[in-house]
Amino acid sequence: MSNAARILLVKTALDGHWRGLSVVARALRDAGFHVIMGGMLTGAEIVRAAVDEDVDLVGLNVGGHVQVVERVLGELRAARPDLPVFAGGVLPPASCKRLGALGVECYPPGSSLDDIVAAARRLTGHLAKP
Amino acid sequence: MRRDPPPPIYTTRSGIPLKAAYGPDDVPADHRAVMGGLPGEPPFHRGGFPQGYRTKPWRIFQLSGFGKPEDENERIKFLLKNGETGFLMEHDRNTADHLYNVDHPDVVARREDVGQTGAVMQSIREVAITLDGIPIESTYGHAGGGVVQHGPFALAAYWSVARRRGIDLAGLAGTGQSDFFLTYLGCVTKQQVPTAAGLRLNADIIEFCAEHLPKWVPVSIAGYNGGDTGLNGYQELGAVIANAIEYLDEVRRRGRMDMTAAASRVGGVNFRTTMDIFEDAAKLRAARKMWCRLLRERYGVTDERALRMRIHIVTSGSMMAYQQPINNIVRGTLMALSAVLGGTQSLGVSGYDEAISIPSEHAHQMAVRIQQILQHETNITAVADPLGGSYYIEALTAELERRGWEFAEEIAGRGGFLATLDSGWLHARARDNQVAEQQAENDGRRIVVGVTDFRDDVSPFEIDGFPGVSDAYEVARARLDEVRRERHEAGAHAAVKRLERACRGTENIMPVMMEALGAEVTLGEIGDVFRSVWGDWQTPELV
């Protein structure tokens, strides 16, 4: 397990619904990933957690507007330009499109756990530790 | 991995095994003994009222709110104009749930989110704008304050606006919420008063209403928020009972109210209905029966009006699909039907765009129309408890009740409802079900049309979702500055000190909260008092 890729899951909004995050975290853990739960964090806090925990992938649970996610992404990219990011949560189609253009894969409600786990494998693949 | 579906196992959504057909022997003897009773008779499983909906149709009561107070005001008026018969006033989650003003760093960092789920209301001025022109003296209103630490502010603000209009509070009808399920289980905030402090706040509200607002429902236990977080039907029942026990035991311990009055105050309860139409209709029947028994046996209540649980239903938001969202109009209708078959007093239908955004005007209008079609076109309101006497429904009612009591007893054995929130035991029960339900969809054992099966790759999205407004944050900042500039500073300061003394002592905080609102003390200042007196809840590990 010590070689498992490390995934930081955070909430970008001050909205405490945790059901979606919970099932995704469980699926990723069951698939062998090391999942770190960051809670509700600001952009600066996410950067700190990503660096401190030396993670290979960040998962953003979105419960608010896409502009907040874009700002978080900007801060994250400035600090760790190569760190892959994917997102889930309440993401209207237009938000998915905007985030997709920024290289963030989106998994809105109804996405299958298999697809999310496959994405995590693919996104961390080139970073997998020996 | 998607596999060939295993041979079907027939159970309810909560996992109760189902037979292909039911007969008289499937109804247990103790339930059979009350089966012949009529609606309006204890133990009320057949409904609270002898004439059912002939006496009073259910209240059409939709969650509403976004943007600036003006935007929320406009939406509430839109809903009332379309036939809503009560209104719910949502406050912005970023500020209200956390008792932060809009200039708190945690809010500033997410400024575009401000106003997404309700208007920002930091002082009585903003609450007055939200309520402007709404006849609250004659319209049943929900003041907001879903989250426990926000309840006192939301209620005091609403009541203060009423007083300023010259409305006698003794005649004001409406409801608060201050819901433990939402606050500590379903939507866990970043900062919150500990559960023990929350219980004290709720007991203060209950006692204050008993004295000053006899027509107001002081707090509402919202099993919905446990259900949509993952508790199954009978766990929702058991947990609601366990929650009621905490409130009623506390009121009894304080010794200022008689238990008949207390039972009436606490008897407005909320559940969810899901797509398992019969299980959830039976759940409402079981809920009323359990309530009646709890009050009789534990609290010695005999007054029939006090023994009657009044139910508000919100249709499950988590059943609403992101894919092919127009299908959700059908889901909303079926879940509403379940609520009505179960005999609800009040109903909110989730918007068809629930999985995508807060409701658009059209989604909101549809939610009202669904209810109007049920009320006026289906003849469903003619006869009370139309499912009563069905072997299946009666057997299910009895089984849900049995399992509900079992779950309530398990919670009691673990120290009670608050203790199981503090320890995370209830969260773990919800989590087990969340994972099991998602797995069932993932591997083909449960079908969701348009999501797991019958997918439409050509046109995956038919609606864009409602974007809200973009100026809620700036306007709220300006209004906060205005209050700080214009209010009588020494008066506000003194009111804050009075509030802090009340919180540290044992007097009821509501009179002081009303004074603080009158002195234009802001939401964030009230939060600072609560935080300094009570600190922060130790959130259990959720995931």
Domains located in chain A, CATH noted: 6-64+85-125 (3.40.50.280)
Q: Which residue on chain B is closest to A67 by alpha carbon?
A: B112
Query: Which B residues in the span 376-405 are in contact with A, Cβ-Cβ below 8 Å?
Result: none
Task: State whether residue A14 sits within 8 Å of chain B by CB.
Answer: yes
In 3D space, the residue among A65, A127, A64, A77 whose CA is nearest the CA of residue A104 turns out to be A77
A79 and B CB contact within 8 Å:
no
**Nearest-angstrom CA–CA distance, A130 and A88:** 28
**Which residue in chain B has the smallest CA separation from A41?**
B106
CB pair distance less than 8 Å for B543 and A40: no
Q: Residue ranges per domain, chain B?
A: 24-473
Q: Given an 8 Å threshold on Cβ–Cβ distance, is A14 in contact with B451? A: no
Give the model's pLDDT for residue B207: 98
**E strands within A33-102?**
34-40, 57-62, 85-89
Q: Which of B110, B228, B435 has its CB closest to that of A13?
A: B110
pLDDT tens column, B315-341: 999 999 999 999 999 999 999 999 999
Check CB contact of A100 with chain B, cutoff 8 Å: no
Is the pLDDT reported for residue B1 higher than 70? no
- Which chain A residues have a beta carbon less than 8 Å from that of B109? 42-44
Chain B contact probe: residue of A12, A15, A30, A76 with most B CBs at under 10 A = A15
Instruction: Look at A110 and B322 and tell me if their CB atoms are within 8 Å.
Output: yes
Tokens of A60: 């953003």
CB nearest to A18's CB, from B110, B188, B323? B188
* Tens of pLDDT, residues A78-118: 999 999 999 999 999 999 999 999 999 999 999 999 999 99
How would you label B202-217 residue by residue, b for 16+ Cβ within 10 Å and e otherwise? Answer: bbbbbbbbbebbeebb
- Residue of chain A with shortest Cα separation from B100: A14
B120 touches chain A (CB under 8 A): no
Give the pLDDT band of residue A130 (cuts 50, 70, 90).
very low
Residues of A in contact with B110 (CB under 8 A): 12-14, 42, 64, 68
Mean residue pLDDT of chain B comes to 96
- pLDDT (mean) for B520-534: 98
Say whether pLDDT at B238 is over 90.
yes
CA gap B121, B243 in Å, rounded: 29
What pLDDT digit, counting tens, does each position of B287-322 carry? 999 999 999 999 999 999 999 999 999 999 999 999
CB atoms A14 and B464 under 8 Å: no
The whole-number pLDDT of residue B12 equals 97
Q: B285 and B243 in contact (C-beta within 8 Å)?
A: no
Q: For the domain bounded by B24-473, which CATH number is listed? A: 3.20.20.240
Q: State whether residue A121 sits within 8 Å of chain B by CB.
A: no
pLDDT of residue B4: 64
The Cα-based distances of B191 to A17, A49, B123 in angstroms read 14, 20, 20
Q: Which of B173, B127, B132, B125 is nearest to B150 (CA)?
A: B127
Q: Which amino acid is at B316?
A: S
Spatial separation of the C-alpha atoms in residues B96 and B190, rounded to whole Å:
12
Residue B45: in which H helix or E strand, if any? none
**Can you point out the beta strands (E) in A57-99?**
57-62, 85-89
Per-residue pLDDT reduced to its tens digit, B107-135: 999 999 999 999 999 999 999 999 999 99
Give me the half-sphere count of Cα atoms (radius 13 Å) on the Cβ side of residue B113.
26
pLDDT for B5 equals 61
Quote the pLDDT of residue A129.
Answer: 46
CB contact under 8 A, A23 and B117: no
Assess contact for B258 and B300: CB atoms under 8 A.
no
Interchain CB distance below 8 Å, A90 and B357: yes
- Chain B residue whose CA is closest to A117: B1
Which of B110, B111, B189, B319 to mutate to test binding with chain A, by most A CBs within 10 Å of its CB?
Answer: B110
Min distance A116 CA to chain B CA atoms (Å): 11
Cβ-Cβ contacts under 8 Å, B229 against chain A: 18-19
**Is the confidence at residue B538, as pLDDT, over 90?**
yes
Residues of B in contact with A44 (CB under 8 A): 109
Residue in A72, A79, A58, A76 with CA at minimum distance from that of residue A124: A58
Q: What is the ipTM of this complex?
A: 0.94
CA distance B378 to B397: 25
pLDDT given at position B2: 57
Alpha carbon of A70: minimum distance to chain B alpha carbons (Å) = 11
Size of interface A-B (CB pairs under 8 A): 113
Mean pLDDT value of segment A10-26: 95
**Which among B2, B111, B187 has CB closest to A17?**
B187
C-alpha span between B46 and B49 (Å, rounded)? 9
pLDDT at res. B462: 77
Residue B542 near chain A (CB below 8 Å): yes
Whether the pLDDT of residue B461 is over 90: the answer is no
Confidence at residue B460, expressed as pLDDT on a 0 to 100 scale: 55
Strands (E), B54-103: 59-62, 86-88
Instruction: Quote the CA–CA distance of B332 and B340 in Å, as a whole number.
Output: 12
Cβ atoms of B226 and B182 within 8 Å: the answer is no
Confidence tier at A70 by pLDDT (50, 70, 90): very high
Contacts of A16 in chain B (CB under 8 A): 97, 186-190
- Find where tokens 């057909």 sit: B21
The pLDDT-based confidence of B3 (bands split at 50, 70, 90) is low
**CA–CA dist B305, B308 (Å, integer):** 6
Closest approach of B104 to chain A, Cα-based (Å): 12
What is the pLDDT at residue B459? 63
